[in-house]
Chain A
Amino acid sequence: MANAQATHDPAAAGHAVPWDGDEAALAAESRRRNKRLLLILAAIGIGMFVFAFANVPIFGLVCEKLGFAQDPGKGSAAALASEEGEIGRPIEVRFTGNVWGQLPVEFRPVTSIQKTNLGKMTVADYVFINLSRNPVYFRPIHSIRPTEAAGEDKYELGECFCYTEMMMHPGQELVLPVVYRFHNGLDENIKAVTMSYTLFPITKEEYERKKAEEAAQEEQGS
């Protein structure tokens, strides 16, 4: 009776009164429903955990479509085949070369800025020099900006060292080309495109494994 108020009707204010139903039956019923709901909710929880991992491939696909991918692939030759030889408006292409962390490789474009035309196959050379006394293993990654130019139907790479596992002997110097072409239908506003390459170190084991895989594939092919 701690707080009984003379003017106050408990039931009217939503107050409780004792229930006169069958408590045992209620308990049994709720136990049954609780178990079912528990299973459903646990499944949702596990499903969301799996969803996190499922995002890895999904994100890759979405990025590729939108041109955000770190790995935009080599472009689509098929999309460009129809306009073979058609030379469009001029465009400026900038090149950058970077190496990850302390990887002892000097890596830079021979020409940092090229003036070319849409639809025209163009060659850009990069210089690689192993600065150390040991062999180095690495993989070049490329990235294109703005993203409107990086969609898979926007450009084509004829020849490229990107995504190729590479090994360089101590002190070795290489000059490798990037042969590229941008699509004629590139957005009018895009006057310049940046093609950026970064060398990421890989282990010797990974290099050898990749090479073995490639060799095996070639064998299968022939």
Chain B
Amino acid sequence: MSIMLDKPKDQKTAEAPRGVPRFPDEPVKPVKTPNVFLNILGSTDHKVLGILYLILSLVMGVVGGALAGGIRAQLAAHNLEVLSPELFNQFITMHGSIMIFFVIIPALAGFGNYLVPIMIGARDMAFPRLNAFSFWILIPSGVLMFTSFMVQGGAAAAGWTAYPPLSLKEFSGGPGVDMWILGVHLAGISSITGAINFIVTILNMRAPGMNIMKMPLFCWTWLVNAWLILIGTPVLAGAVTMVLMDRAFGTNFFKPGMGGDPVLYQHLFWFYSHPAVYIMVLPGFGMISHVLASFSHKRIFGYTGMVWAVSAIGVLGFLVWGHHMFTAGISPELRLYFSFATMVIAVPTGVKIWSWLATIWGGTIEFRTPMKFALGFLSLFVIGGISGVFLANVPFDIQVHDSYFVVAHFHYVLVGGSVMSLFAGAYFWFPKMSGRVLSEKLGNVVFWLFFIGMNTTFLPLHLVGLQGMARRIWQYRPEFETVNGIASLGYLFMAAAGALFIYSIFEALRRPRDCGADPWKINDVQESLVWDIPSPPPAYNFARIPVIK
């Protein structure tokens, strides 16, 4: 029953949104200029910004994917020289940085921007102009990172972890690392201001009756996520600032022999970058919850448990950074603590997995494209989670730390987890954003190409990692050739899936906007607000503020 479309009984109230103060302090109405381009540039509408985030993420996804292609081409066979070793190190550094800071995080921010205000019954984010700032500052950040390939000495090549002393002036002389650091700063500012906006929006802007324990899970995951960003990202910013100061101003934060300590950088870096793993996957959890429940035609199982699990993951995420440093020479007692704390995270993560399974259990499952991606996510994320438990155990981790086993593990989490959930979300909410459903036929092909490609690429890499192939190496010993050849083959599948996905977006955009408010016919399940309003939603979403009973 979509009340928002109903003709209000009182004609005066219907006109009211123009007259009443905006919710909360909004310029009266976006100025209609004939220039669409200017309209977008000056927009503070959360929906426009959300879509801009998603477009940026898609474009950078192509860039990051191309870099991955370079890496896989270089590693396709023994002793190839597709890339020079210098360029190879730049590729791995930028592949990681771009995928994290410009693909996954902005994509999640895009979905969050678009959906959170609608889901909580608000007309926009709490600070629309700050929201626009958060997005636009990502552009110079991305430009800095990307153009660093063209400067002397090339882009940063010290890995996305940028450990000193390797990232210090003595070993990375060119301006690449400086540009990388400034890029990370700007991306960090974007993340932090965005996170503040999300927290304020979710805590203060909920429609009357939208009790926090009634809030859709996607909003919950974003709330926890925003706290992680707010607490973690400034520490990363501090750490890279210290590297920058060591490089440019002759300070000695991390210079061994000058009173500095490179190991301190590792602590600070992982204090952010372990929670960053959750920053990259928590909102994905939220999206998966919505998709699974919707296409099973059931309510999400164990809502309260899910909320607690997400919150627990958020808190625990800050207590486990040391598991990235098991071979850095920290004491056995500390290692045992970090090991155990890390394993504890598996418990709330497990709660989520079981609850998702219970959600689809007994439902009437429709195998639409978003649901396929969600089910694929469930399967792949379990694998990534279990290999995570393996890595949490010190004796095993010492053996495979910095090997391809770790690479396989985190790609199962980030590609099998985050990217699969992004695909699920994209297919699920694209109709809401554009008024058109993405082609199911193409979607089916995209899913199978991606699912097979992802497994072909990363499953075999566990094996070479166990066998002794270190990560971030430009050439490898001949005995790893077969496995790497297979992995490179898998990349082609994933690249094809990506290309087809982009094509299917353009294909859909050529069709008329006729999918209706609820194209999936799922409004009997939960998210009344999103699927009640038209697709795409009007400016300010709701003619009248809804009240949730």
Q: Which residues of A contact B (CB under 8 A)?
A: 1-5, 8, 10-11, 13-21, 23-24, 26-28, 30-31, 33-34, 37-38, 41-42, 44-53, 55-56, 59-60, 63, 66, 68-71, 100-101, 139, 141, 147, 198-202
Contact = CB atoms under 8 A, between A and B. Distances in A.
A4 B235 contact: no
A41 B230 contact: yes
B286 interface: no
A59 B267 contact: yes
Contacts of B544: 18-19, 23
A19 B231 CA distance: 36
25 contacts: A1-B5, A3-B2, A4-B1, A14-B214, A14-B549, A15-B1, A16-B3, A16-B207, A17-B547, A18-B545, A19-B208, A20-B547, A30-B126, A30-B205, A41-B195, A41-B200, A48-B234, A49-B234, A50-B238, A52-B235, A68-B263, A71-B259, A100-B257, A141-B256, A201-B257
Given A23-B20, A49-B235, A101-B170, A70 B261 contact: yes
A14 B548 contact: yes
Contacts of A13: 524, 526, 528
Contacts of B8: 18
Interface stretch (B21-29, B62-70, B352-360): B21-29
Interface string B221-244: 000000000111111111101100
Nearest to B126: A34
B380 interface: no
B419 interface: no
A199 B532 CA distance: 70
A1 B2 contact: yes
B517 interface: yes
B264 interface: yes
Given A16-B549, A44-B231, A52-B239, 8 more contacts: A1-B2, A3-B518, A19-B208, A48-B230, A51-B238, A52-B268, A55-B264, A141-B257
Contact of A3 (B21, B233, B331, B521): B521
A207 B158 CA distance: 30
B237 A19 contact: no
Interface string B247-279: 000000100111101011001100000000000
5 nearest CB pairs, A to B: A200-B257, A52-B238, A16-B546, A48-B234, A10-B1
Interface residues of B, number: 71
Contacts of B203: 37
Given A16-B546, A52-B234, A38 B196 contact: yes
Contacts of A19: 207-209, 544-547
Contacts of B256: 70, 100, 141, 198, 200
Interface string B518-534: 10010110101101100
Given A34-B204, A59-B267, A24 B2 contact: no
B23 A27 contact: yes
Contact of B24 (A34, A53, A69): A34
A180 B532 CA distance: 78
Among A8, A15, A68, the most chain B Cβ lie within 10 Å of the Cβ of A15
Given A2-B5, A37-B204, A66-B331, A16 B529 contact: yes
Contacts of B230: 41, 44-45, 48
Contact of A18 (B199, B521, B547): B547
B528 A68 contact: no
A198 B258 CA distance: 12
Given A13-B524, A24-B21, A59 B264 contact: yes
Nearest to A48: B234
Contacts of B127: 34, 38
Contact of A2 (B242, B261, B517, B526): B517
B200 A37 contact: yes
B192 interface: yes
B330 interface: yes
A42 B196 contact: yes
Given A1-B5, A3-B518, A16 B23 contact: no
Nearest to A53: B238
B237 A49 contact: yes
B531 to A, nearest CB: 7
A37 B203 CA distance: 9
A60 to B, nearest CB: 8
Contacts of A3: 2, 517-518, 521, 523-524, 531
B234 A17 contact: no
Contacts of B263: 68
B257 A139 contact: yes
B515 to A, nearest CB: 10
A5 B204 contact: no
A16 B532 contact: yes
A5 B192 CA distance: 43
B516 interface: yes
A60 B260 CA distance: 9
Contact of A198 (B24, B204, B257, B526): B257
Contact of B261 (A1, A31, A34, A59): A59
B253 A23 contact: no
Nearest to A31: B24
